[in-house]
Amino acid sequence: MPFPYTLPTTSTISYPTYFESPLYPTLPLATSSHRGSLRNALKAHKRLPTASQASNIPFIIKLLESYLAHLLTLYDTLTAGDAFPREGAPRLTTSWRTVLSARRVTAKEPPRVARPGLSYEIFWSISTLGYAYTLLARSQLQGILAPPSSNTTSGSTTDATAAANSFNQAAANLFTSASIFQHLLTRPLPPHASSWPPDLSPQVLSALSSISLSAATLSAVTKQDPYPTYLSTIAIEKKKQQKGKEWLYNPPAPPAGVRALLIARLCIAASDHAAKALGLLSTAEKTDAGEIGEELLRYAGSLQKVSRAKACRFLGIDAEAAGRVGEGISWIRGAKTILNASGSASSVGSFVGDRLRRKDDVWGADAGRVDEEKTLDALEGRWKKLNDSVMFQKCPDLEELMGRMPTGRELHQSIKSWEPPKLGADELRALRAAGDLGAEVVIEEEDSEEEGVGVEDGGDYAGRGGYY
């Protein structure tokens, strides 16, 4: 399941204070107006109940893309010499609340880190768009896979076609997220970028892209996975009633043969992406603005294990379908061994107690680990009963079996490059007109006392006075 990122909030900025453009006189003001709308929306989103935030994500994405189209146009005009810093203007400095950096023990929220230059603003805005697309995919998967709530009615069902479409959309949004983070790796960095928070470091951005690729691949796998049925069946047997999601009770036939091998190889590719992300996050340098928090490290470690365990499960499904029940049991036991193995990187921390989900856990924060363990337990119990009463087959040695693991296969050999949003010809023509915007300028909310706490400035460093 995709990681439950928290969207950042940001400070106020008035671009006309810093820049002017003879070619596009109203561009700085228009950019400020769109930024004000985005800032107000991010603050409002943060205050929404958790259950209401998912439906608000498309609106946030729309505002981000509109703001980015203006922000990148402003950056391009400055680079081309069609816009200039105002004479005597102070240096441009913006602050954003970090997303991945570990917060202080006494802090309720991570700090807002202030740094100068448009590049800092651009990197934060684009990375926020990457987080938003991940959250959109997460909400689409959660609507299909999350356990039904106690007030779910029998009429609220998800048919197979709607579920398949949601899986496809979620995978597409995760690929978009991956390409957005990859795009940031191609953008030039200013000399002082080493003082930025670790959220924007090349290592972490590359890790985020790999995490999105891994989650996208698993989404495509889950679409073809019939065995969440076991979780639903267990719940039905306990409650003696059905609640929605009937498509899970009539799943596609278990994959076998070439199809099972292909799905297993996709799972291994997802595991490889997660392993790469875990390595990058574990070695990411600590900066003066903080270090990556343990939550994302634990998620990447769980994602790697869950993906590899799924590969074992699908190989076991294929073996059982071919009548090799003993081999199937061994594959399931191998998967459970992978899930219960301790992390190899010291910074990942211990996974002791992960089998029990705490009441305050966020759905999907364990990368689906607990649900995978339940599925493995159900399969092992069913197959072991069959083997003990009918088949009487020997279970192969685990070490020998693991040596037969296939190599990974990518879902797509290459993902489409993300194209930054651009202003249309009519919009550019309107920005050439001198005078007012022709639309109401957004009034930004004032910072509350809580929002103003923990703002860190950039300190002294080379390139301090640069705008970009």
Reduced 3-state DSSP string for 294-328: HHHHHHHHHHHHHHHHHHHHHHHHHHHHCCCHHHH
User: Helices then strands (H, E): number in the chain?
Assistant: 14, 5
| pLDDT-based confidence at residue 464 (cuts at 50, 70, 90) | very low
- Structural element, H or E, at residue 376: helix 369-386
Check the CA dihedral 310-314-320-324 and report its sign: negative
Q: What percent of the chain stands above pLDDT 90?
A: 60
Q: pLDDT tens digits, residue range 147-206?
A: 655 334 333 345 678 888 899 999 999 999 999 999 999 999 999 899 999 999 999 999
Q: pLDDT tens digits, residue range 119-146?
A: 999 999 999 999 999 999 999 998 887 7
Q: Are 227 and 375 in contact (CB under 8 A)?
A: yes
Contacts of 158 (CB under 8 A, 6+ apart): 143, 144, 166, 244, 245, 247
Q: How far is the C-alpha of 158 from the C-alpha of 95, rounded, in Å?
A: 42
Q: State the average pLDDT for the chain.
A: 83
Q: pLDDT tens digits, residue range 291-317?
A: 898 999 999 999 999 999 999 999 999
Tokens 């379908």 identify what position?
Answer: 321
pLDDT computed for residue 446 by the predictor: 61
**pLDDT exceeds cutoff 60 at 238:** no
pLDDT computed for residue 216 by the predictor: 96
pLDDT computed for residue 414 by the predictor: 78
Instruction: Tell me the chain's radius of gyration from C-alpha atoms.
Output: 25
What does the domain layout of the chain look like in residue ranges? 90-420
pLDDT computed for residue 463 by the predictor: 36
Work out the average pLDDT over 16-41: 96
| pLDDT-based confidence at residue 465 (cuts at 50, 70, 90) | very low
Contacts of 36 (CB under 8 A, 6+ apart): 12, 441, 442, 443, 444
Q: How far is the C-alpha of 239 from the C-alpha of 175, rounded, in Å?
A: 38
Q: pLDDT tens digits, residue range 324-357?
A: 999 999 999 999 999 986 544 333 333 334 433 4
Work out the average pLDDT over 216-227: 88
Q: pLDDT tens digits, residue range 40-95?
A: 999 999 999 988 999 999 999 999 999 999 999 999 999 999 999 999 999 999 99
Q: What are phi and psi of 313, to 5 degrees?
A: -65, -45
Q: How far is the C-alpha of 168 from the C-alpha of 163, rounded, in Å?
A: 9
| pLDDT-based confidence at residue 104 (cuts at 50, 70, 90) | low
Closest CA to 368 of 83, 69, 145: 145
Establish how many alpha carbons lie within 13 A of residue 275's alpha carbon, considering only the half-sphere containing its beta carbon.
Answer: 12
Name the residue with higher pLDDT: 287 or 118: 118
Q: How far is the C-alpha of 220 from the C-alpha of 164, rounded, in Å?
A: 10
Report the predicted TM-score, pTM, of the whole model to 2 decimal places. Answer: 0.87
| pLDDT-based confidence at residue 361 (cuts at 50, 70, 90) | low
Q: Right CATH number for 90-420 from 1.10.150.530, 1.25.40.280, 3.40.50.150, 3.20.20.70? A: 1.25.40.280
